[in-house]
Amino acid sequence: YIGYITQEIKVDKNDKLIITLEEDTETLDEVVVVGYGAIQKRSVSTAISTVKGGKISEMPTSNISQSLVGMSSGITLQQISGEPGAAPAIRVRGAGSINSGNDPLFVIDGYPTTDAELFNNINPADIADIQILKDAASSAIYGSKAGNGVIIVTTKQGQTGKPKVSFSTQVGWSEAQNYVQRTF
């Protein structure tokens, strides 16, 4: 079973066996959620990268897309606007088409969308983890929209116990460097 240690127990002449499952804390995090359920990461034959939410919330970037730089192989970001803080275009394993869009499919808590702006507007502190499906097997799960890869976002869920309040702030600015005044 997922998350439990495999045990071998020798059977003697005893008629009674008492078997208890012991949790395996090392492999508990190695569970991957895909379109058809949760499976162990070692039994997956597809290219999947996982980025934990804690790493994303620690990055001093203006959006989630920029936080993924260097966190997973096979992801490139293209800055398509010169505006400071503008969201880049995400490409999973390069461009898949010349004529149609190259954006990946975003699955946010089970709801699929191709809107990258919706993905970038998620609060980084609310993300539990991000899984990136990079190959054609994701098309078998999510259909033709997943031909350019799939980015699965799982947000944090409510927990029992006392309420927690957290506060985080960042300050930054952008300005043109070495602006040259033209004279005619």
Residue 98, pLDDT above cutoff 60: yes
Tally of domains within the chain? 1
Average pLDDT on 24-51 reads 61
pLDDT of residue 32: 59
What SS3 state is found at 47?
Answer: coil
Beta bridge partners of 74: none
What SS3 state is found at 112?
Answer: strand
Examine residue 175 and state whether it is found in any structural domain, yes or no. Answer: no
Examine residue 147 and state whether it is found in any structural domain, yes or no. Answer: yes
> pLDDT class for 64, splitting at 50, 70, 90?
confident
Kindly report the average pLDDT of the chain as a whole number.
77
Average pLDDT on 43-48 reads 62
Examine residue 27 and state whether it is found in any structural domain, yes or no. Answer: no
Contact 107, 142 (CB under 8 A): yes
Predicted TM-score (pTM) of the model is 0.65
- Among 156, 130, 152, 133, residue whose Cα is nearest residue 52: 130
Q: What domain range includes position 151?
A: 46-155
> pLDDT class for 96, splitting at 50, 70, 90?
low
Examine residue 120 and state whether it is found in any structural domain, yes or no. Answer: yes
CATH code at 63? 2.170.130.10
Examine residue 127 and state whether it is found in any structural domain, yes or no. Answer: yes
pLDDT of residue 108: 92
Note the pLDDT tens digit of each residue in 68-77.
878 877 788 8
